[in-house]
Amino acid sequence: MEEGSMFRSLLAILQWWGFNVTVIIMNKWIFQKLDFKFPLSVSCVHFICSSIGAYIVIKVLKLKPLIVVDPEDRWRRIFPMSFVFCINIVLGNVSLRYIPVSFMQTIKSFTPATTVVLQWLVWRKYFDWRIWASLVPIVGGILLTSVTELSFNMFGFCAALFGCLATSTKTILAESLLHGYKFDSINTVYYMAPFATMILGIPALLLEGSGILSWFEAHPAPWSALIIIFSSGVLAFCLNFSIFYVIHSTTAVTFNVAGNLKVAVAVLVSWLIFRNPISYMNAVGCGITLVGCTFYGYVRHMLSQQTPGTPRTPRTPRSKMELLPLVNNDKLEGKV
């Protein structure tokens, strides 16, 4: 690899890590330190900021070409995807509301397993035995982390787990619903974030509106807190832009390893800031999960390099892999 290319890859990974970890920590800070316990509204703010940001990047600054989607397809294909996309983000923020960042990030690493199982059950897709074997340490690490978590909360745990299912469902649906469209992360946000805002806006207003008014009256510095909340929305959009950059600057193996190291960085930074208790066995479980995810990505990459005619496990096409959530779960299963 040339020195300039290596520097660009390193820069892409570092800025991706920076945005991702910052967004996660800010969201947890909003729920825990600012006492703004309204995950639907936080998600809605992120969708609004991302809608505006994507419009500016594509329409105003023209940094990315717009992928034109037929008006009928926007409702027939994009809207169902946006609904699952919305559920995925909301569940991620709900889990952050109730469980530590370290635990939430570890559970989100369960996504490869839920994706493989759903594809096998629903689509009856064949998977090489090595794929199934690579899932064993992921499942084992999640189980060990869950039973040894000192700040365990069943509601937060279930939200994170169902968030994995939502992420997997979104990934699988993209193969059929978005067939023929080569979306990148920016165009994905451009089309899905406005729909997600429309879907979530009324529920957030009805379920959390009165609580937000009470919080605004009781909080000693509400305007400063609101600046932090909206800043997290701006950074959530920047995270999508950073994902687009890192996808085009790294190889498949590098991206896989960097994605799992990013989880480790998020866990470490969150512990340094929030000081949530982590037992020795809990840390071991988290480590096993991350090693398992790295091994899973390596196996998928190796199988994708097999010569024509040999049995291959289905792999995620590049256009689908760039369909990433606004926050929290931007780890990919592989990269071509």
Say if CB 301 and CB 252 are below 8 A apart.
Answer: yes
| Mean pLDDT (the chain, rounded) | 85
**Dihedral, 276, 281, 282, 288 alpha carbons, nearest 10:** 140
Q: Is the pLDDT of residue 9 over 80?
A: yes
Q: Is the pLDDT of residue 99 over 70?
A: yes
Vertex 292, ends 289 and 297: CA angle to 5°? 130
| Percent of the chain at pLDDT exceeding 90 | 51
Locus of tokens 């979104």: 170
Q: Is the pLDDT of residue 329 over 80?
A: no
Cα gap 228→288, rounded to integer Å: 34
pTM score of the predicted model: 0.84
> Average pLDDT in the 146-153 region?
92
